[in-house]
A and B are shown apart, each in its own frame.
Chain A
């Protein structure tokens, strides 16, 4: 795929390649069902998914996000571990100058937890019952591809 040859930070080519999304799980969370389903959903929507799989800590997610030049970082959350990793992850991304917004998704995310995460600087949270079209649209918007041509407009909080 030609887009894979494009430099990850090459702003001039930004609009020409598909949206790239990093997907992974944190810590010991081994419930991959949601991550696999979302990976399929995003690929069906024409995005490129870099699937990092299980057993990741914040430094690896930050490194992969930088190496792969992704537009959005998506983390699947089916244990409460994410609550304890988010601060560290956001700090790491800031330190390394990685602008890709973080999106969390998973059945364990309650509306209260979602609000708390968004206050910390998570760009979006999808709890149980999130609608597929809404997930795709949000990620497109976060990647700056919502058609207004303004690029990434979701840096609030990061």
Chain B
């Protein structure tokens, strides 16, 4: 085996030339930025905003602590917000669930009722900033819509996004304990609702970051992403939503590993594939439906627990790749990623990295600076071909529901995890400080103290929630949950208004999720055995 292949295994030549890319195909295969097929970028060069939205992943502890974190990040010059829930919140468990107790607020913010969202967004200019959420979409859209209205902000002006992860969440890190049909419905309903009520908000943010950061390569990442995008599009069309009513707010949140040119080419290929699929297969005509926004997180998996300072360098290289690819938003996974959600120090370093790249390096002045490179164009073509072929191959094996239920996707994720581990073990994937150039643990001290500082679980949330359950109008909360159940039983109804009503009545996300699971034939507590055992 030679070293001459990309991280996803595409063979590489020592040098590329005119035989590798035919410039006469410029108009059909590239086009200028802002022109079909949008390989060079979704927007025309030179006009309007230059650069990207700079944001760092935030959210820890209770909503008040996270709100404080938002204000600190905005004060440091962050231009958008990016919030993730703690593990129970993302799994739709209330903090008083037996499984949740030691995980409350440690890896994200704990949110389970409307009061929490009120506190989370307190004092933020909702009409002027973009709010990106790695949180359960149906509940975020309902809560954000409610809080905006309470504050006199028209939901139609809200900007930002929420990740949709219905197909793969059970097999990766976002398990909900819900059947496929319910997961898909929650996505479809929230996207359809937002298309009407929050038309500037990207309610359809395909998240290929989280599915791929267990070890999928760039081709697998985007193939699975497109399988989910295409599946959700078909489901929305089947619900009678017109393609150009929601497709302008499809965006993709991708991963960025260490292979600089492959990641750039992947993003360019993704924009082109998206445009072609939306145009040729789904009949979209609005140019905004064809020109997909791409946001990115730099790969947490590429970072190391050893010599954490090296992760600053990795994040910089990855962010440069993303800037060269012309993405719309960047989040750099911080140097303490292997141990914890970002510390204030790590946030600051990552944000300053983005600012230096943006302001000092001149990379924002010219759009798609690698366009026309024999190598990058050849790699873009090859990635597009491989991603498209894998999408067709997966779709030929069955619909997403049966592939998910049969364990097809789970096997794919597990195979990738094993492959990645072998590549690190064998040294095939070099990792400085891990499989080469290691230092002794006792000498590995730089930034160590910051990295290992822990967040205690916010167990006070349990008592707060008990108090909330006691003080609310139990009759009203119960009636709102019954209404949500009735709504869920009607396949033509949209769940979002019923969730908005239930939030207003003081119901919690855990309670709502329980009702939804029951209607779909699952156990109300997806982790019921644990309640008895605990």
Interface residues of A (CB under 8 A from B): 27-33, 36-37, 40-41, 54-55, 57, 59-60, 63, 79-81, 83-85, 107-108, 110-112, 127-129, 132
Contact = CB atoms under 8 A, between A and B. Distances in A.
Nearest to B88: A28
B533 A57 contact: yes
A137 to B, nearest CB: 15
B252 interface: no
B475 interface: no
Nearest to B304: A128
B88 A129 contact: no
B305 A30 contact: no
B100 A28 contact: yes
Nearest to A113: B452
B338 A60 contact: no
Contact of B99 (A28, A83, A128): A28
A129 B107 contact: no
Nearest to A36: B417
Interface stretch (B61-69, B127-135, B259-267, B418-426): B418-426
Contacts, number: 103
B434 interface: yes
B102 A85 contact: yes
Nearest to B442: A111
Contacts of B533: 57, 59-60, 63
A112 B214 CA distance: 27
A84 B106 CA distance: 13
Contacts of A129: 305-306, 433-434, 438, 441
A29 B103 CA distance: 8
Given A30-B173, A54-B175, A110 B214 contact: no
Given A83-B454, A84-B457, A107-B339, 19 more contacts: A27-B101, A27-B102, A28-B103, A31-B173, A32-B173, A32-B417, A33-B215, A36-B414, A36-B418, A36-B421, A37-B417, A57-B530, A59-B533, A60-B530, A79-B103, A81-B102, A108-B339, A128-B434, A129-B305
A27 B93 CA distance: 12
Contacts of B103: 27-29, 79, 81
Nearest to A60: B533
B534 interface: yes
Nearest to B103: A28
Contacts of A84: 101-102, 457
